[in-house]
Homo-oligomer: A and B are copies of this chain.
């Protein structure tokens, strides 16, 4: 644990089949005005919308709604939410949906009382938030981003063709409470489920593939990866397997609530490339991550060979007998590729609507952070071409 840190995560998690029974006690802590944020029609079809509205009304809440949040929530939607918060004097923003809805809700919270353009101040320039924010609570219906227990907010500015993630401090912007009932994720289509699974796996790898020290967090990340692989294999066969779906849900939350990455350097380049892919296509986030990961790690593994050897042995049980470190590392990355195929995830950019002429602009606009190696635009372009 060579890097010093300060850590406190304020989110109260209610997990399991009975989690919704805690909604009343949570919303009673806030004033009467609620902004309800959600996505498309799925919560209406499932009956969850009616249940939430009933509980809100039983507790005397006055509700205004912001429906239709897109899977890549936009600047325009965030600003519309901010306007509703101000007009309605919202005391609580209740996000019902997946990571997109939660991310957008945090964006609304930071933006509602911001002087000037919050996009420029908080996403482009990364300024600390000085204005008052509005508490956010969540009821999760898709799992992957861990937005339910962190301060992250990824917003897409359509005019600027930019998808930027802002990580707000946990104590300031992590949801006050999150209700996680794994059964709410049962109705997510298989394609979205595996997209979420790979989003989680990518978070874990991106926190893991950096650093040369012996650090507790790496062992815990390995534990979360192993749990996820075990649960994912069960869930793709039976999406209604409660044990598997609940494990995936908790792997996700633990995977990016920051507690497994304390004291670690990290490598978020795969997310950076995918964010720009998402700005140019409608590719599901986790699918994009899966497509980029294998070529990316094949491109950079030599710079952190020891860690890729450890990954191959500990996560994929690659037998090291008689093999060079390079062979072991490459077998580990191949095992990752095989796992992606096993999940039924597309393996090329072509399959998700990208065209070859988009690639230079995606490479150019990608933030270059790296880990064991910091790529150039040319490197990113070569990686993207290898995904094609």
Contacts and interface: CB of A to CB of B under 8 A. Distances in A.
B4 A247 contact: no
A227 interface: yes
Interface stretch (A89-97, A114-122, A211-219): A211-219
A164 interface: no
A160 to B, nearest CB: 37
A227 to B, nearest CB: 4
A231 interface: yes
A243 B230 CA distance: 31
A216 B14 CA distance: 16
A222 interface: yes
Given A4-B15, A8-B13, A12-B8, A216 B227 contact: yes
Interface stretch (A16-24, A57-65, A352-360, A372-380): A16-24
A1 B243 contact: yes
Interface in A53-106: none
List of 8 A-B pairs having minimum Cβ-Cβ separation, nearest first? A4-B16, A223-B223, A8-B12, A219-B227, A1-B246, A219-B223, A216-B227, A220-B223
Given A6-B14, A224-B220, A249 B1 contact: yes
A1 B213 CA distance: 31
A10 interface: yes
A281 interface: no
A231 B2 CA distance: 13
10 contacts: A1-B247, A1-B250, A2-B246, A5-B15, A6-B15, A8-B10, A214-B244, A216-B224, A216-B231, A220-B254
Nearest to A181: B4
A58 to B, nearest CB: 21
Contact of A1 (B16, B222, B234, B259): B16
A11 interface: yes
Contacts of A2: 242-243, 246
A239 to B, nearest CB: 16
A242 B251 CA distance: 30
A119 to B, nearest CB: 30
Contact of A230 (B7, B16, B214): B214
A242 B2 CA distance: 8
A170 to B, nearest CB: 10
A243 B254 CA distance: 24
A30 B208 CA distance: 38
A261 to B, nearest CB: 12
A247 B215 contact: yes
Given A1-B243, A1-B249, A247-B215, A12 B6 contact: yes
B243 A262 contact: no
Nearest to A176: B8
A130 interface: no
Given A215-B247, A216-B250, A222-B223, 10 more contacts: A4-B15, A4-B16, A4-B17, A5-B14, A8-B10, A219-B226, A219-B227, A219-B230, A220-B220, A221-B223
Contact of A5 (B16, B214, B231, B242): B16
A247 B220 CA distance: 12
Interface in A302-331: none
A7 B5 CA distance: 22
A11 B170 CA distance: 13
